[in-house]
Chain A
Amino acid sequence: MVRLITHNLLACHVKGCTSNNFPLEFKDAKLELREAEYNPEFIRGFLPKIEWKALVDTARQLGDTSLPLEQPEMLDDEFLKNLHHVLLEIHVEEGSMICPNCKHDYPISNGIPNMLLAEHEIG
Chain B
Amino acid sequence: MSRPELQAPPEIYYGDIEAKKYTGNTRNQQIQADMTYRALELLNLPENEPAFLLDIGCGSGLSGEILDEEGYIWAGMDIAPSMLEVALEREVEGDLFLQDIGQGFGFRPGSFDGAISISVLQWLLNAETSHPTSSPPHRLHRFFTTLHSALRNPSRAVFQFYPSSDDQIQLITSIAQKAGFGGGIVVDYPNSKKARKVFLCLFVGGGGGQQQMPKGLEGEVEEDSKVRFERRRERERLKTKVGKRKNVKDKDWILRKKELYRKRGKEGVPRDSKFTGRKRKAVF
- Cβ contacts under 8 Å, A32 to chain B: 247-248, 282
Whether A68 sits at the interface, judged by CB under 8 Å, is no
Please state if B99 and A49 are interface contacts (CB–CB under 8 Å).
no
Chain A 39-55 against B: per-residue CB contact (8 Å), 1 yes, 0 no? 11110011001010000
| Interface residue SS majority, chain A | loop
- Cβ contacts under 8 Å, B104 to chain A: 13, 122-123
Chain A 62-82 against B: per-residue CB contact (8 Å), 1 yes, 0 no? 111000000000000000000
With contacts A13-B146, A22-B108 taken as known, whether A88 is within 8 angstroms of B133 at the C-beta atoms is no
Separation of A35 and B279 alpha carbons in the complex (Å): 9
Question: Which single member of A35, A51, A114 contacts B277 (CB below 8 Å)?
Answer: A35
- Which residue from chain B places its CB closest to the CB of A9 in the assembled complex? B111
Separation of A71 and B94 alpha carbons in the complex (Å): 26
Please state if A88 and B73 are interface contacts (CB–CB under 8 Å).
yes
Whether B37 sits at the interface, judged by CB under 8 Å, is no
With contacts A46-B52, A112-B84, A122-B134 taken as known, whether A36 is within 8 angstroms of B93 at the C-beta atoms is yes
Please state if A63 and B146 are interface contacts (CB–CB under 8 Å).
no
Question: Which single member of B77, B107, B261, B269 contacts A11 (CB below 8 Å)?
Answer: B107
Please state if A51 and B132 are interface contacts (CB–CB under 8 Å).
no
Nearest-neighbour CB distance to chain B for A117, whole angstroms, equals 5
- Cβ contacts under 8 Å, B107 to chain A: 9-11
Question: Which single member of B94, B98, B254 contacts A35 (CB below 8 Å)?
Answer: B254
Please state if A11 and B103 are interface contacts (CB–CB under 8 Å).
no
Whether A34 sits at the interface, judged by CB under 8 Å, is yes
Separation of A11 and B276 alpha carbons in the complex (Å): 35
Whether A5 sits at the interface, judged by CB under 8 Å, is yes
Please state if A119 and B133 are interface contacts (CB–CB under 8 Å).
yes
Separation of A113 and B132 alpha carbons in the complex (Å): 19
Whether A98 sits at the interface, judged by CB under 8 Å, is no
Whether A56 sits at the interface, judged by CB under 8 Å, is no
Please state if B77 and A115 are interface contacts (CB–CB under 8 Å).
yes
- Which residue from chain A places its CB closest to the CB of B94 in the assembled complex? A1
With contacts A33-B280, A35-B249, A39-B268 taken as known, whether A116 is within 8 angstroms of B106 at the C-beta atoms is no
With contacts A32-B248, A113-B97 taken as known, whether A13 is within 8 angstroms of B52 at the C-beta atoms is no
Separation of A49 and B107 alpha carbons in the complex (Å): 12
- Cβ contacts under 8 Å, A3 to chain B: 95
Whether B100 sits at the interface, judged by CB under 8 Å, is yes
Separation of A113 and B85 alpha carbons in the complex (Å): 12
Please state if A116 and B99 are interface contacts (CB–CB under 8 Å).
yes
- Cβ contacts under 8 Å, A110 to chain B: 85, 88
Nearest-neighbour CB distance to chain A for B99, whole angstroms, equals 4
Nearest-neighbour CB distance to chain B for A64, whole angstroms, equals 7
- Cβ contacts under 8 Å, A22 to chain B: 108
| Supplied contacts A42-B52, A49-B111, A116-B131, 13 more A-B pairs, CB within 8 Å | A5-B52, A10-B108, A12-B106, A21-B106, A35-B276, A45-B50, A110-B88, A111-B88, A111-B96, A116-B103, A118-B132, A119-B132, A123-B103
The 17 listed contacts between A and B (C-beta, < 8 Å) are A1-B94, A1-B95, A6-B95, A10-B106, A31-B282, A34-B249, A41-B50, A42-B52, A42-B73, A45-B49, A110-B85, A110-B88, A112-B97, A115-B97, A116-B100, A117-B103, A122-B133
Closest 6 CB pairs of A and B: A63-B284, A13-B106, A42-B50, A119-B132, A9-B111, A115-B99
